[in-house]
A and B are shown apart, each in its own frame.
Chain A
Amino acid sequence: MSLLKIENLTAEVDGKPILKGIDLEINAGEVHVIMGPNGSGKSTLSNVLAGKSDYDVTGGTVTYDGKNLLDMAPEDRACEGLFLAFQYPVELPGVANTTFLKHALNARRKYVGEPELDALEFVKAVRKKARDLNMPDDMLKRPVNVGFSGGEKKRNEMLQMAVLEPKLAILDETDSGLDIDALKLVAEGVNALRNPDRAFLIITHFQRVLDYIVPDQVHVLSGGRIVKTGDKSLATELEKTGYADYTGEAAA
C-alpha cells in the first residue's frame, strides 16, 4: 500500500523554483534512498513534506496515508506519524530534552486519543532508548541540542525518532559527520523500527550507510528532479562516478 505519493511536486523559495516536478511513491514497509549533489533540493523536499512555511508549493500533490499532506499543519503531519530528522537540528535553550520529548510524545498520543504517559514510565523508556544510542543520561537533562556536537545533535534526532515511532521517517543527511560507530547506531535504530507498516526516506551523500541499511529503491535528485531510480547498485555506481552524469541531464 502506498504510504507516500508525490506527484509532479513543484516548490520555490523567495520566488526561485527549487523543486521542478518530483514524482515519488513509497509503500509501507519500504526504505527509499535519495542521493544527489549539494543544492539539488533534497532538504527542500524534506522541509516541504514536514510543512515548513518558507517554501511555497506551486504545484503538484502529496498524498500521505490517504490524506492530502499539503493541507495539514506541521504539527498534524507529525501527529499523523511523519517525522523529519533535520539536517541542521535547532537548539532550544531553556527547554530540557526530556521535557521536549514528553511534550512531543503526549501531543501525538492526545491526537490519536491515547492517554498521556505516566512520567516515570516515560523517563525509563527514554533512558533505555538513549542508552541504545550511546547517549549519556545527562544529555536528556540538558536543553535540546544546546552545546551538543554535530554528531550528538544527529543522535538526538534519532532518539526522537525512536521515542515517537513514526510511520514515515525522513532522515536528511543524518549520517553526515558521524563516525563509523555512530553510523552503526543510527542504522540499528532504523532497522529496529523497520516493519511492514513503516517506511523510511533516507537522504544521504554516502553509499556507506547502505552497508548497514538495505534500501528498496535509490533515487538520484538533481536540479529539483528525480533523474534516475534504481536499486542498491545505483548507490555503489554513484559512489564511483559521482553526480557529473546527472547534473547535465537535469539542466537539459
Chain B
Amino acid sequence: MTGILQDLLRQRGASGRFEAEEALPTRKAEQWKYTDLMRLEKIGWSLWLAEDSHGVTRLPTVLPGLEKTIDIVIVNGFLDRDLSDLDHLPAGLSVEAGPAAEAWGDDFTDRLSDALTQEEICIRVDAGKTIEPVVHLHHVTWGADDEAAIAHAARVVITVAEGGEACIVESHAQVQGRGFSVPSLGISLEKGARLGLYSALLDSAGSAQIGLADIGLADGAVLDSFLLTLGEGLTRRETRLTMAGERAEATVAGAYVGSGDALIDNTTFVTHIAENAVSRQFFRGVVGDRSRGVFQGKVLVREGAQGTDGQQQHKALLLSREAEIDAKPELEIYADDVQCAHGATVGTLDEDQLFYLRARGISEADARALLTRSFLAEAVEKIGRTAVRDVFQAVLTARLGGVTE
C-alpha cells in the first residue's frame, strides 16, 4: 500500500523529490508529532490539472464588508484570468502566471508543494510604490459536485521591492466539493518594504490544507501578518520567517476556532540572522467539540544576530472536555545580546467571570461567547489595517455564535 501521496504523484506524472515508496509523514516524524494526516487517506483525491475546467462563475463572499479590493482569483491552484481584476491593476502592481520551476526546501511540505504545484503566480509591487486598495487573493476549491474531492496546489510568489507597500488578504474556501490544498506562499520584502498579509483559512469540514508561507525580510522591512483559522477540516499552516535584514520588524499573529473534528495546526519558525530585528508572534485559539489545536513555534537566533527582540505567545482555551491543545514553544539562541521570551498557556473559561456575567442577566451561552470573543479579540486587535481588522473580527464573531460545548 503506497497511499494517497503516491497516488497524487502518479496523477501528476512526476515523483518530485519523493522516494518510490514514500508515504505521508506519520506522527513519528518530529514535525508531525501532533498532526495526524491519516484522515487524508482513503479519500479518492483527484489532482486538478491544467487542462481541467471549472464551473465557478461568481466569487463566494467569504469576507463580507471588505471594500476596495483588487481581486485575484485562484481556482483549484490556477489563476482565473476572467474572474480576476487583471485589466485594471494600479500602476506599480503586476500579476503574472507561469509554470512553477524553483525547488524550495527539503522538508516534507516543501517537497509536496514542489511536486504538486503546476503554476506559479507572481505578484510584484514596484520600488517606492504604495498599492492603496487591498489585494484579495481568493483561493477557492471547486468540484463538479458536493462529493468531489479535489487536490490542488497553488504557489504565489510576492515581491515587494525597495520601499514598496501593499496590503494583501488571502482567503481559502470551498465553492463546491471538498479540497486537499497545498498552497505555498513565497514572500520577499526588500529594503524598507512594508506588507500587511492577512489570511483567512475557512475550509469546510472534510477538507484539508497543508500550507506553507516562506517570508524573508531585508533591512528595515516591515511585515504585519495575521492568520485567522476557522477551518473545519485539517488546516496546517507553516510560517517560515527569515529576519535577514537589520531592524526588520515582523508581527505574526493569529486566532483560531476549532469545532467539530477540526484540527488546526500553526507551525512557525522564525530565524533571526541580522542584528536588531524584531519578531512578534501572538496566537490565541479556542477549541470546542472534539477539535484539536496545535502550536509549534520556534524562534532561532543565529550567532551574530545581536539586539534581536523575539517574542512568542500562544494562549488557548478548551471549550469542551474532548477538545485538545498541543503547544510546543521553542527558543534556540546563539547570540548573547538578545531579548527573547515565549509563553504558552492552556486554560478554560473562568468560572468567576462567567458567573459575574450571568449575575448581570446575560445567558450562559451568551456569556461564554462574549468571553471567548474577547479572548480572541486580543489577537485580532494586532491587525494593523483597521478595515481588515473589522472584517476579520466580524467573521470571527459570526463563527463564535456556532461554537458548541
Q: Which residues of A are in contact with B by a Cβ distance under 8 Å?
A: 50-53, 73-75, 77-79, 84, 86, 89-95, 100, 103-104, 107-108, 111, 143, 160, 164
**B361, CB-defined interface residue at 8 Å:** yes
**Cβ of B367: which chain A residues have Cβ within 8 Å of it?**
75
Q: Is the CB of B361 within 8 A of A107?
A: yes
Which residues B341-387 have CB closer than 8 A to chain A? 350, 352-353, 355-364, 366-367, 370-371, 373-375, 377-378
Q: Which residue of B lies closest to A145 (CB)?
A: B356
Q: Is the CB of B360 within 8 A of A160?
A: yes
**Cβ of B375: which chain A residues have Cβ within 8 Å of it?**
94
Jot down 10 A-B pairs with beta carbons below 8 A, ordered by A: A51-B358, A74-B355, A74-B359, A75-B358, A90-B352, A92-B353, A94-B377, A103-B362, A103-B366, A164-B360
Q: Is the CB of A107 within 8 A of B353?
A: no
Once bound together, how far apart are the Cα atoms of A143 and B381, in whole Å? Answer: 14
Once bound together, how far apart are the Cα atoms of A71 and B89, in whole Å? Answer: 64
| A-B residue pair count with CB separations less than 8 angstroms | 71
Q: Is the CB of B359 within 8 A of A84?
A: yes
**Cβ of A111: which chain B residues have Cβ within 8 Å of it?**
361
Once bound together, how far apart are the Cα atoms of A107 and B361, in whole Å? Answer: 6
Q: Specify which of A51, A93, A143 is in contact with B359 (CB 8 Å cutoff).
A: A51
Q: Is the CB of B361 within 8 A of A79?
A: yes
Q: Specify which of A52, A90, A94, A103 is in contact with B378 (CB 8 Å cutoff).
A: A94
Q: Is the CB of A104 within 8 A of B378?
A: no
**Cβ of B371: which chain A residues have Cβ within 8 Å of it?**
92, 95
Min C-beta distance of B129 to chain A, whole Å: 37
**Cβ of A53: which chain B residues have Cβ within 8 Å of it?**
355
Q: List 4 extra interface pairs beyond A78-B361, A108-B361, CB under 8 A.
A: A75-B363, A78-B358, A90-B350, A100-B357
Min C-beta distance of A108 to chain B, whole Å: 5
Min C-beta distance of B197 to chain A, whole Å: 24
- Residue from B355, B375, B378 whose CB has the most chain A CB atoms within 10 Å: B355
**Cβ of A77: which chain B residues have Cβ within 8 Å of it?**
359
Q: Specify which of B350, B355, B360, B373 is in contact with A104 (CB 8 Å cutoff).
A: B360
Q: Is the CB of A75 within 8 A of B353?
A: no
**Cβ of B373: which chain A residues have Cβ within 8 Å of it?**
94
**Cβ of B374: which chain A residues have Cβ within 8 Å of it?**
92-95, 143
Min C-beta distance of B390 to chain A, whole Å: 15
Q: Is the CB of B377 within 8 A of A104?
A: no
Q: Is the CB of A107 within 8 A of B356?
A: no
**Cβ of A91: which chain B residues have Cβ within 8 Å of it?**
353
Q: Which residue of A lies closest to B376 (CB)?
A: A94
**Cβ of A95: which chain B residues have Cβ within 8 Å of it?**
370-371, 374
Q: Which residue of A lies closest to B355 (CB)?
A: A52
**Cβ of A108: which chain B residues have Cβ within 8 Å of it?**
361
Min C-beta distance of B350 to chain A, whole Å: 8
Once bound together, how far apart are the Cα atoms of A94 and B381, in whole Å? Answer: 10
Q: Is the CB of B370 within 8 A of A103?
A: yes
Q: Which residue of B lies closest to A84 (CB)?
A: B359
Q: Which residue of B lies closest to A77 (CB)?
A: B359
Once bound together, how far apart are the Cα atoms of A104 and B375, in whole Å? Answer: 19
Min C-beta distance of A164 to chain B, whole Å: 7
Q: Is the CB of A73 within 8 A of B360?
A: no
**Cβ of A92: which chain B residues have Cβ within 8 Å of it?**
353, 356-357, 371, 374
Once bound together, how far apart are the Cα atoms of A143 and B377, in whole Å? Answer: 12
Once bound together, how far apart are the Cα atoms of A100 and B367, in whole Å? Answer: 10
Q: Is the CB of B353 within 8 A of A100?
A: no
Q: Is the CB of A90 within 8 A of B361?
A: no
**Cβ of A160: which chain B residues have Cβ within 8 Å of it?**
360
Min C-beta distance of B392 to chain A, whole Å: 15
**Cβ of B359: which chain A residues have Cβ within 8 Å of it?**
50-52, 74-75, 77-78, 84, 86
Once bound together, how far apart are the Cα atoms of A12 and B237, in whole Å? Answer: 50
**Cβ of A86: which chain B residues have Cβ within 8 Å of it?**
356, 359
Once bound together, how far apart are the Cα atoms of A104 and B361, in whole Å? Answer: 6
Q: Is the CB of B361 within 8 A of A75?
A: yes
**Cβ of B366: which chain A residues have Cβ within 8 Å of it?**
103, 107
